[in-house]
């Protein structure tokens, strides 16, 4: 290229940067495969800057970008050689990679809006956080679906917390094109397997593994990553209780038939099954238990002060997770609920797409228990009960 041509060719560093942002804006560092996709995007960014090296020499934005890429590649241990992400809409993307599939569709349509994700969580004795970030506590018993859509199903069964009872979580990943055959996962109290019920640990092609299970802590924590639907599931056992956290794309979470509208993660518990009064639930007076727990729960060894202190050891912010911890300790006396509330909040921080919504605060807005705190705790959108969420 002649010097005259160079002068007439614009520096396109802004286009390189825009493409990099579009390739990475939907990625979540807590999810499986982040480093692989981020490094591919970085290499594409680097290649773009290299193609513009001559026309952009002397451009401060260009040189800042080059230095930034080098730093990021070093931080993420990205090799300079390897596959790159493509911003070319004509390129065929992996149909078993939801992010790539949606990205290709949006580029063909002239849009570059990253997909929206939703979060649902279940923990404690028992507390439900819906896709709409509503907190509820329910008295439902029997089989109830948390999620039941065209690609994914998570069924649950609730029963009273009684000695010897066990919790069960059943998750069904439905077959999807050539990406995976149907896979079923089931966890039971004291049996948190790192495999599906058929003994396998992945679904789909052995190389791509569009669905796979990762054991984080043996018998205590497993993760399921479904690349083909962009979903991530965390299942934990804390004490004798199972907790569940789910992140999935909004368009798939809402892709269900009219007959599938009874989904706790989508619409919450039926009003007749909720145990709260505008977010308020009675606390036991010392030496007494609430009627719901009288036949199944021992007298709690915690006072309001000692329960508050215990929960504050794990959770410094007095949000709904803190108050759920206080309530659970007062009504059950089981210190495991402190760890359950803390791990539930950690799952929110890892999977919930919007940081400003991680914490939910009581209606009062000041985080303090009022003068009737020995009788009731204001819990905003959530109520807390003495029934334990059980799955079968």
This prediction's pTM: 0.68
pLDDT digits (tens, 9 = 90+) for 244-297: 999 999 999 888 887 777 888 998 888 887 775 555 545 554 434 444 444 445
Between CA 226 and CA 224 the distance in angstroms is: 6
SS3 string, the chain, reads CCHHHHHHCCCCHHHHHHHHHHHHCCCCCCCCCHHHHHHHHHHHHHHHHHHCCCCCCCCHHHHHHHHHHHHHHHHCCCCCCCCCCCCCCCCCCCCCCHHHHHHHHHHHCCCCCCCCEEEEEEECCCEEECCCCCEECECCCEEEEEEECCCEEEEEEECCCCCCCCCEEEEEECCECCCECCEEEEEECCECCCCCCCCCCEECCCCCCCEEEEEEECCCEEEEEEHHHCEEEEEEEECCEEEEEEEEEHHHHCCCCHHHCCCHHHHCCCHHHECCECCEEECCCCCCCCCCCCCCCCCCCCCHHHHHHHHHHHCCCCCHHHHHHHHHHHHHCCCHHHHHHHHHHHHHHHHCCCHHHCCCCCCCCCCCCCCCCCCEEECCCCCCCCCCCCCC
pLDDT digits (tens, 9 = 90+) for 112-162: 567 899 999 999 877 889 999 998 877 766 667 889 887 878 866 554 444
Check: CB of residue 277 under 8 Å from CB of residue 133: no
Residue 110 has pLDDT above 60, yes or no: no
Window from 32-36, 339-343, 388-392 with minimum mean pLDDT: 388-392
Highest mean pLDDT among 140-144, 203-207, 331-335, 374-378: 331-335
């Amino acid at each position: 290229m002649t010097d005259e041509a160079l002068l007439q060719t614009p520096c396109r560093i802004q286009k390189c940067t825009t493409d990099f942002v579009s390739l990475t804006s939907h990625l979540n560092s807590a999810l499986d495969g982040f480093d692989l996709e981020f490094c591919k995007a970085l290499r594409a960014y680097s290649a773009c800057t290299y193609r513009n090296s001559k026309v952009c020499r002397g451009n401060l934005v260009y040189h800042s970008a080059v230095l930034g890429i080098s730093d990021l590649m070093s931080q993420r241990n990205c090799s300079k050689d390897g596959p790159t992400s493509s911003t070319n809409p004509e390129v065929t993307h992996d149909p078993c990679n939801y992010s790539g599939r949606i990205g290709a569709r949006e580029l063909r349509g002239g849009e570059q809006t990253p997909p929206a994700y939703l979060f649902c969580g279940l923990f404690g004795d028992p507390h439900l956080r819906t896709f709409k970030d509503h907190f509820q506590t329910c008295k439902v018993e029997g089989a109830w679906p948390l999620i039941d859509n065209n690609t994914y199903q998570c069924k649950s069964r609730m029963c009273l917390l009684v000695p010897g009872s066990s919790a069960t979580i059943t998750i069904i990943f439905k077959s999807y094109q050539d990406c995976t055959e149907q896979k079923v996962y089931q966890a039971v109290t004291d049996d948190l397997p790192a495999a599906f019920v058929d003994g396998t640990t992945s679904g789909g092609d052995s190389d791509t593994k569009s669905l796979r299970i990762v054991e984080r802590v043996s018998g205590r924590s497993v993760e399921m990553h479904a690349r083909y639907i962009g979903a991530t599931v965390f299942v934990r056992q804390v004490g004798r209780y199972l907790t569940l956290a789910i992140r999935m794309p909004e368009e798939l979470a809402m892709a269900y038939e009219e007959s599938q509208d009874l989904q706790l993660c989508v619409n919450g518990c039926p009003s007749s099954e909720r145990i709260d009064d505008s977010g308020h639930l009675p606390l036991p007076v010392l030496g007494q238990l609430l009627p719901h727990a009288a036949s199944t729960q021992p007298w709690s060894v915690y006072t309001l002060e000692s329960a508050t202190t215990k929960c504050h050891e794990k959770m410094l912010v007095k949000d709904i997770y803190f108050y759920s911890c206080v309530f659970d300790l007062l009504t059950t006396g089981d210190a495991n609920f402190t760890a359950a509330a803390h791990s539930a909040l950690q799952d929110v921080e890892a999977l919930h797409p919007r940081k400003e919504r991680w914490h939910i605060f009581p209606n009062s807005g000041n985080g303090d228990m009022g003068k009737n705190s020995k009788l009731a705790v204001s819990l905003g959108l959530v109520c807390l009960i003495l029934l334990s969420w059980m799955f079968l």
